[in-house]
């Protein structure tokens, strides 16, 4: 009888072990950078803040997840996900075909164009001739960096940085002629600050799908379809119940979601 009970227990245990992981009411670890204001950043008290962070918390509430944030440098964001350091990336990551080779994405949760910023006194035209020899700062391993390398790499001096803030600082110090990044990041994290008061946008906004993808989404490991579906449902929920709009209004005076 005892042997039969043991065999039954082991059979049940084996079935449970093979069952897909359920995230309902479980802890989900969220990877984010903490160095990309206003989307994700560390405030003076050491607290993680920003649009990405509040959206992540709202999604966790809507999906009935217990969420824990993990800070990760941008360069190691996808490797950290694949190494199971966290379960999802909510860090203003663009949905691109290149990244889809390594991870899966939810649908977008916002979409804004990328732009150049220059000093107000500099007469710079955004063209192949106008940018010739100019030093342009970008955050490395980003879609903005890829866009500059592919479209202006033979014309400009591309200077990659670990964070956008470092690039902005070098623009102010005179080591750069321009920076190129997401327009909202540049507006809220630089132009609307004391350091950025003498700087301005120049040229058009860029949303080319080839480089900037389908918007900003949440990355999960491939085949982690249950989590992806739950997050997609949560995005729909907070869009429909007004939670998304309340968070949007707290940070921006326009709709960052973009076209439906």
DSSP string, 83-146: TTS-SEEEEEEE--HHHHTTEEE-S-SB---EEEEEETT----SSTTTTTT-EEEEETTSHHHH
In 3-state terms, what secondary structure has residue 213? coil
Domain 114-210 is in which class? alpha beta
Average pLDDT over residues 235-260: 95
Mean pLDDT of the chain: 91
Strand segments, DSSP code E, in 24-81 are: 27-32, 35-36, 40-42, 48-49, 66-71
pLDDT at 11 over 90: no
* pLDDT value of position 6: 41
For 33, 73, 95, 112, 258, the CA distances from 214, given in Å and listed in that order, are 21, 23, 5, 10, 11
Contacts for 40 with CB less than 8 Å, ≥ 6 apart: 32, 33, 34, 48, 49, 50, 51, 52, 53, 90, 91, 92
Q: Kindly state the tokens that stand for 22.
A: 């359920």
* Residue 260 pLDDT class (50, 70, 90 cuts): confident
178 contacts 118 by C-beta, under 8 angstroms: yes
Domain span(s) for CATH 3.40.190.10 in the chain: 24-111+214-251, 114-210
Planar angle of CA 26, 46, 220, nearest 5 degrees: 35
pLDDT at 21 over 90: no
Q: Say which CATH topology domain 24-111+214-251 has.
A: D-Maltodextrin-Binding Protein; domain 2 (3.40.190)
User: pLDDT tens-digit profile of 146-184?
Assistant: 999 999 999 999 999 999 999 999 999 999 999 999 999
> Which one, of 134, 187, 183, 181, lies nearest residue 161 by Cα?
181
With 0.85 as the threshold, say if the pTM is over it. Answer: no
User: pLDDT tens-digit profile of 119-145?
Assistant: 999 999 999 999 999 999 999 999 999
* pLDDT value of position 13: 40
* Residue 259 pLDDT class (50, 70, 90 cuts): confident
* pLDDT value of position 22: 54
User: pLDDT tens-digit profile of 58-99?
Assistant: 999 999 999 999 999 999 999 999 999 999 999 999 999 999
Q: Kindly state the tokens that stand for 186.
A: 């540049």
Name the percent of the chain in helix, strand, coil, to the closest 5. 40, 25, 35
């Amino acid at each position: 009888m005892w042997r039969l009970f043991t065999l039954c227990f082991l059979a049940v245990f084996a079935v449970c072990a093979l069952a897909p992981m359920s995230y309902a009411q479980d802890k989900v670890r969220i990877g984010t950078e903490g160095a990309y204001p206003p989307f994700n950043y560390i405030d003076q008290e050491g607290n993680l803040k920003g649009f990405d962070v509040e959206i992540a918390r709202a999604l966790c509430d809507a999906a009935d997840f217990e969420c824990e944030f993990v800070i990760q440098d941008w360069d190691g964001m996808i490797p950290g996900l694949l190494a199971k350091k966290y379960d999802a990336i909510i860090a203003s990551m663009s949905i691109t075909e290149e990244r889809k080779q390594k991870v899966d994405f939810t649908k977008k949760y916002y979409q804004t164009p990328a732009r150049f910023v220059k000093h107000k006194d500099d007469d710079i035209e955004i063209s192949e001739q106008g940018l010739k020899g100019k030093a342009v700062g970008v955050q490395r391993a980003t879609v903005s960096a890829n866009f500059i390398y592919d479209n202006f790499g033979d014309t400009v001096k591309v200077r990659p940085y670990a964070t956008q803030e470092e690039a902005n600082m070098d623009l102010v110090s005179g080591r750069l002629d321009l920076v190129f990044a997401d327009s909202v990041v540049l507006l809220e994290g630089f132009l609307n600050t004391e350091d950025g008061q003498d700087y301005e946008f120049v040229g058009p906004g860029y949303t080319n799908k080839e480089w900037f993808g389908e918007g900003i989404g949440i990355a999960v490991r491939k085949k982690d379809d249950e989590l992806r579906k739950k997050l997609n449902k949560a995005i729909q929920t907070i869009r429909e119940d007004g939670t998304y709009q309340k968070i949007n209004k707290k940070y921006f005076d326009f709709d960052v979601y973009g076209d439906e």
